[in-house]
C-alpha cells in the first residue's frame, strides 16, 4: 500500500524554465515532508523539507508547497538547470519521526 | 567528512548464501535505517534503530536481520539469499530529533543468482 505517490515517472523541461514535481499522500498523520535528489550510483541527498504547520518553504531556486486539505505537495525549481537532472523522491513521516515513507520518484531531465 | 559509508558497493550471491552488508556513520546520529530500492519503486524500509541495542522492523523485514551494538554501526544480515532480495540497499542515519532529514550512503547493489 503506497502511502506516498509520485504519479509522473518522468519530466522534461527546457533550461531556464520552471520544473514542477508533484507528490500525493494518503496518511493524514504525516506532518513532515521532504524532497530528496538522487544521481545514478549515489544515495539520495536531502534537498528541502516542510512541516505541516507551513504551506510553503523556499531555499534558493527550490520551493516546496504543501496543501494539507488535498494531501498534496509540490517542488518548484526555478530556473531549471542541466545539473538539476536527477531522480527526485518525496518522503513523509508522522509525529514519531521513526519511519519515513518514500514515493517512487520522478526522473527530471533539464534540456540545455 | 565521510557521513554514511556502505560496503561493499557491489556483490553477487548464489541462492542460499549468506552475507552481511556493512554500514557505519561518523555523525553520532542516534537513528539508523536500512532501505531497499527495487527498479521503478521507492525506498522501502527494512529495519531501523533508534539507538544502540534497539532495533525494530520496517515495512519489509522478512529475510533480513540487524543488530546495533554501537552508535556508529548498523549491519544488515541476509541469512539465506533468495532472488527476490536482488535490489539496491541503502543505509541512512538521522539525529533522531523531530523534523530532521536522513543522510544516506551510496548504496550496495546486490544480485542473487
How confident is the model over B24-78, as pLDDT tens digits? Answer: 999 999 999 999 999 888 899 999 999 999 999 998 999 999 999 999 999 999 9
| Preceding peptide of A34 cis, ω within 30° | no
CB-based contact A43 B101, cutoff 8 Å: no
Q: What confidence tens digit (pLDDT) does each residue in A53-68 have?
A: 999 999 999 999 999 9
Closest CA in chain B for residue A46: B101
The reported pLDDT for the residue numbered B97 is: 72
> Do residues A87 and A108 lie in contact, with contact meaning Cβ atoms separated by under 8 Å?
yes
User: Which pLDDT score, from 0 to 100, does residue B17 have?
Assistant: 96
B15 and B70 in contact (C-beta within 8 Å)? no
Q: What is the mean pLDDT of chain B?
A: 93
Q: What is the pLDDT along chain A (112 residues), one digit of tens a residue?
A: 789 999 999 999 999 999 999 999 999 999 999 999 999 989 999 999 999 999 999 999 999 999 999 999 999 999 999 999 999 999 998 866 678 899 999 999 999 9
Q: Residue A88: closest CA among chain B residues belongs to which residue? A: B42
* Integer angstrom CA distances of residue B48 from A111, B10, B33, B51, B105: 39, 22, 4, 9, 15
Indicate if the pLDDT at residue B81 is higher than 90. Answer: yes
Whether the CA torsion A92, A74, A24, A83 is positive or negative: it is negative
Instruction: Check pLDDT > 80 for residue B88.
Output: yes
- Chain B residues in contact with A8 (beta carbon < 8 A): none
What nine digits make up the cell of B58?
Answer: 520496517
Residues of A with Cβ-Cβ distance to B42 under 8 angstroms: 2, 4, 6, 89, 101-105
- Residue B113 is classified by DSSP as -
**How many angstroms separate the CA atoms of A21 and A10, rounded?**
9
pLDDT of residue A97: 63
**pLDDT score recorded for residue A87:** 96
Residues of B in contact with A105 (CB under 8 A): 42
Mean pLDDT of chain A: 94
Distance from CA of B79 to the nearest CA of A (A): 24
Only one residue has cell 504543501, namely: A66
Residue B22: pLDDT band (50, 70, 90) is very high
pLDDT at position A35, please? 97
Amino acid at each position: 500500500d503506497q502511502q506516498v505517490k509520485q504519479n509522473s515517472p518522468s519530466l522534461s523541461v527546457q533550461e531556464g524554465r520552471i520544473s514542477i514535481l508533484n507528490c500525493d499522500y494518503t496518511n493524514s498523520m504525516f506532518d513532515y515532508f521532504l524532497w530528496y535528489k538522487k544521481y545514478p550510483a549515489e544515495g539520495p541527498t536531502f534537498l528541502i523539507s516542510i512541516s505541516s504547520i507551513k504551506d510553503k518553504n523556499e531555499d534558493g531556486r527550490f520551493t516546496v508547497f504543501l496543501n494539507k486539505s488535498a494531501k498534496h505537495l509540490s517542488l518548484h525549481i526555478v530556473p531549471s538547470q542541466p545539473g538539476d537532472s536527477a531522480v527526485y523522491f518525496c518522503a513523509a513521516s508522522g509525529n514519531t519521526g521513526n519511519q519515513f515513507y518514500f514515493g517512487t520518484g520522478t526522473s527530471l531531465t533539464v534540456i540545455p | 567528512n565521510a557521513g554514511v559509508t556502505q560496503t561493499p558497493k557491489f556483490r553477487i550471491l548464489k541462492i542460499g548464501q549468506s552475507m552481511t552488508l556493512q554500514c557505519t556513520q561518523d555523525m553520532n546520529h542516534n537513528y539508523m535505517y536500512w532501505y531497499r530500492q527495487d527498479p521503478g519503486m521507492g525506498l522501502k524500509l527494512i529495519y531501523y534503530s533508534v539507538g544502540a541495542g534497539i532495533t525494530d522492523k520496517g515495512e519489509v523485514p522478512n529475510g533480513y536481520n540487524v543488530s546495533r551494538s554501537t552508535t556508529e554501526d548498523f549491519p544488515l544480515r541476509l541469512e539465506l539469499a533468495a532472488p527476490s532480495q536482488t535490489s539496491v540497499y541503502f543505509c541512512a542515519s538521522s539525529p533522531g530529533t523531530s523534523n530532521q532529514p536522513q543522510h544516506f550512503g551510496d548504496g550496495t547493489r546486490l544480485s542473487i543468482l
